Structure 1
Amino acid sequence: MTTAPPPRIAIIGAGPGGLTCARILQRHGITATVHDHETGPGSRNQGGTLDLHEDNGQIALREAGLLDEFFRLSRPEGQEMRQLDPGGKVLFHHTPEEGERFKPEIDRGHLRDLLLNSLEPGTVRWGHTLTSVDGPSEGPRLLRFADGTSVEADLVIGADGAWSKVRRAVSPATPRYSGVSFLEAWFHDVENRHPDIAGLVGRGSAAAADGERGLFAQRNSGDHIRVYIIQRVPADWITANGLTVQDTGPLRAHLVEQYRDWSPRMRRLLTDNDGRYVDRPILALPVPHSWEHDPTVTLLGDAAHLMPPLGVGVNLAMLDACELALAVAGTGTVDDAIRTYERTMLSRSHKMQQLLDHGAEELLSAELPDFATDDSDSDSDSD
């Protein structure tokens, strides 16, 4: 009796979803190789902070055997949330209770390092920019990379984000601009250099909006704060104003004019940043996004269901990764594993896509969020 060889699994993308999938597969004795276009784990800043929820992201970390280490690295105090008005008055203030662990914060870089360090040496192949997925749908698939190399795989997992190259093998869909854009601003050594902003934001996050524009400020580790300046604007609004993202001074002047009705204290979140701004237009895939079943290719995370950034993206990517890895470990064939995984994932993502469709607009709403209903947890005065 002969035993079928184990499937050759290629994961494209070394973000939280791709790395979580590889880790859980390895815990079940299944080899997977992760390919990423970056030159190495420290080639770029991984972005700001994120919260991992008890009912999705933390489930994946438990299956990965990393939940206790996550809690050691996370910042439960980051669950603090303030809703402000444009004058800086606190309308709502949630302070986490002692031991609250529903959605503690962790810097993206710290989460990535946690996952990377859990993998077997050589799992991630850096500097591998995917150019195409070729070969018959029944496999094997041939992955071609920009450096001229290629590999064969029996299962290709697209964990390569908004502009996924793997997605092209199963779907013609591309991200669309939502009509809302973020301009990211960084503040460093905030307790010493920006104490007023540190006091305004607190230990977690603070949000404010007037119906047309908004701000979302968030603590990161290492005494940093990131502020996201939120506007309903054309995607090319910077160039349309005769500017580039490198024109820090003129951009500041433009923002001050746009937020002229906000208080001077709130406008410091626009103007006192350290360094240049980062342009981040908000994109989303068509709602709902699905594809015809392919027996050798599937997607997870933003590659499958890119949505506005309302706190679910990484959590869903990690839950996708967990369920896909468990399906591969517990199902007889790759084809059956993909069917099992997609049956649950697509149903869940469709519901969430519909719920968050046009959700970027909610970031501009001056109304209090639905969760701000407990009067006993509300402050009436500005800090």
Structure 2
Amino acid sequence: MTTPPRIAIVGGGPAGLMCARVLQGHGIQPVVYDTDATVDSRDPGGTLDLHADSGQIALEDAGLMEAFRALARVEGQAKSRRDQHGTVLAEFIPAEGDEAAPEIDRGQLRTMLYEHLKPGTVRWGHRLRHFTPLGGGVHRLEFANGADTEADLVIGADGAWSPVRRLLTDAVPRYLGVHFLDARFDDVDTRHPEVAAIVGEGHMFSTDGDGRAVIVQRNSNGVVRGYVAFRAELDWHVTAGVDVTDREAVRSYLLREFREWSAVMRPLITDNDGDYVQRSFWALPAPLTWDHVPGVTLIGDAAHLMAPFGGHGTNLALLDGAELAHAVKRENSLDDAVVRYEAAMFPRSGELAVNANTALTRFFATTSPDAPHLPPDHAREHQNYEARAAEYRRRRAEDGHWSRAAGT
């Protein structure tokens, strides 16, 4: 490309910020537009694990592994599984030196990526209102605050309900039939020692085999996030006559629904600090592909929103952003870059999305005779992350087309 491309990234989550960081390492200056007022203006959610074969590769490409390690919790890889009575069914404690999937708070990851961009890269408070194809792959973007711009490449990093996706496909997310209530425990070791003991250093997952589960995750700064999950229609609270803004009303409902759970496990459901936050599981059709459209593509959840089983969503989002940035640098045209990126992204994300969505549906469908109630083999899972990472790096070394961003 003989002139610097005008690249607009719509969405300032991990995918969009990673893409911008690697592009800047290649000497290309994109602009990121995000609806949020600031990087930390809303609750970003809990913790996530960054896998050696995807998220960590992207961080290496961005020159951010040292910054990541300063925040990551290697001990957070620990996991346990209990039944509804509190009986430990399985435990995983990472071996010394195991860094296949360290944990980091979502908010910390987003802030870290943002702080390693050039000042002014992200335009906060920009909600995309309208886009117009102008021909030749150029699009005009108009924002609700009155700003507008033209771009040679629009990268949709705008999440589950991506407006940019409408330029490529009419696919929309579907509800997977599982709802959960996000609960928070602050200063957990002092104020909620029973919760701290159950969750340990990492994650604890518990299910009763009848479509109900509780997941608690250790975050940084003495915080534990808990997720009370159950099969339900989207309007479950209307049918049940529960005011979801009334914490005590929600607790009473949960005590009825989880009445078979023991007193040992009940604090995970009822003793949270603050209100319950409603969340639900949605997914795009998988595998999802689309015909190439000049001047536009998708990364992250905008491209492959999937169930959280396996924790692949953010990892794929980071890898998407890095690989698209590499392609933009290395290919002769933006069209060639997008074609190359999508050719690799479609099969990689499609298989993982199918598996994640199927696992969640089977897990919460209690009539399924082969529902995966047993915990995965986390030690083998970590070995697989490392093996795939080594294979990924080997292929990159053989293909000089892919290289780490300069100056990172």
TM-score normalised by L of structure 2: 0.89
Instruction: Please give the per-residue CA displacement for 1:64-93, whole angstroms capped at 9, x wherever unaligned.
Output: 000121112100010000000110011111
Corresponding position of 1:245: 244
Structure 1 residue 352: Cα displacement: 1.4
Instruction: Please give the per-residue CA displacement for 1:117-149, whole angstroms capped at 9, x wherever unaligned.
Output: 110000000000001221245332101111122
Instruction: Please give the per-residue CA displacement for 1:237-267, whole angstroms capped at 9, x wherever unaligned.
Output: 1122122320111110110111111111111
Matches within 5 A, 1:80-95: 80-95=78-93
User: In 2, Cα distance between the equivalents of 1:179 and 1:235?
Assistant: 8
Q: Secondary structure at the match of 1:369?
A: coil
Corresponding position of 2:3: 5
Matches within 5 A, 1:48-87: 48-87=46-85
- Does 2:367 correspond to 1:369? no
Pair 1:372–1:303, CA change in 2 (3 A): closer
Q: Does the CA-based 8 Å contact 2:40-2:111 persist in structure 1?
A: no
User: In 2, Cα distance between the equivalents of 1:60 and 1:366?
Assistant: 31
Amino acid at match of 2:335: D
Q: Secondary structure at the match of 2:165?
A: helix
TM-score normalised by L of structure 1: 0.94
Structure 1 residue 361: Cα displacement: 3.0
Q: Secondary structure at the match of 1:282?
A: strand
Structure 1 residue 95: Cα displacement: 0.8
Q: Does the CA-based 8 Å contact 1:53-1:102 persist in structure 2?
A: yes
Q: Does the CA-based 8 Å contact 1:323-1:341 persist in structure 2?
A: yes
Matches within 5 A, 1:1-383: 4-136=2-134, 138-211=136-209, 212-310=211-309, 311-364=311-364, 367-371=373-377
Moved more, 114-123 or 345-354: 345-354
User: In 2, Cα distance between the equivalents of 1:207 and 1:362?
Assistant: 16
Instruction: Please give the per-residue CA displacement for 1:92-117, whole angstroms capped at 9, x wherever unaligned.
Output: 11111222100000011111111111
Q: Secondary structure at the match of 1:69?
A: helix
Corresponding position of 1:381: none
Q: Secondary structure at the match of 1:358?
A: helix
The 4+ residue runs of structure 1 with deviation greater than 6 A are none
User: In 1, Cα distance between the equivalents of 2:109 and 2:197?
Assistant: 26
Amino acid at match of 2:229: I
Instruction: Please give the per-residue CA displacement for 1:12-35, whole angstroms capped at 9, x wherever unaligned.
Output: 111011000000000000010000
User: In 1, Cα distance between the equivalents of 2:136 and 2:200?
Assistant: 54
Corresponding position of 2:396: none
Structure 1 residue 356: Cα displacement: 1.8
Q: Secondary structure at the match of 1:352?
A: helix
Q: Does the CA-based 8 Å contact 2:300-2:320 persist in structure 1?
A: yes
Aligned length: 372
Amino acid at match of 2:227: Y
Q: Which runs of 5+ in 1 are unaligned?
A: 375-383
User: In 2, Cα distance between the equivalents of 1:245 and 1:316?
Assistant: 33
Q: Does the CA-based 8 Å contact 1:84-1:90 persist in structure 2?
A: yes
User: In 2, Cα distance between the equivalents of 1:87 and 1:14?
Assistant: 42
Q: Which runs of 5+ in 2 are unaligned?
A: 365-370, 381-408
Amino acid at match of 1:216: I
Percent identity, aligned pairs only, is 49
User: In 1, Cα distance between the equivalents of 2:254 and 2:163?
Assistant: 35
Q: Does the CA-based 8 Å contact 2:90-2:375 persist in structure 1?
A: no
User: In 2, Cα distance between the equivalents of 1:35 and 1:166?
Assistant: 12
User: In 2, Cα distance between the equivalents of 1:373 and 1:304?
Assistant: 30
Corresponding position of 1:378: none
Q: Does the CA-based 8 Å contact 1:137-1:296 persist in structure 2?
A: no
Instruction: Please give the per-residue CA displacement for 1:40-73, whole angstroms capped at 9, x wherever unaligned.
Output: 1121122111110000000000000001211121
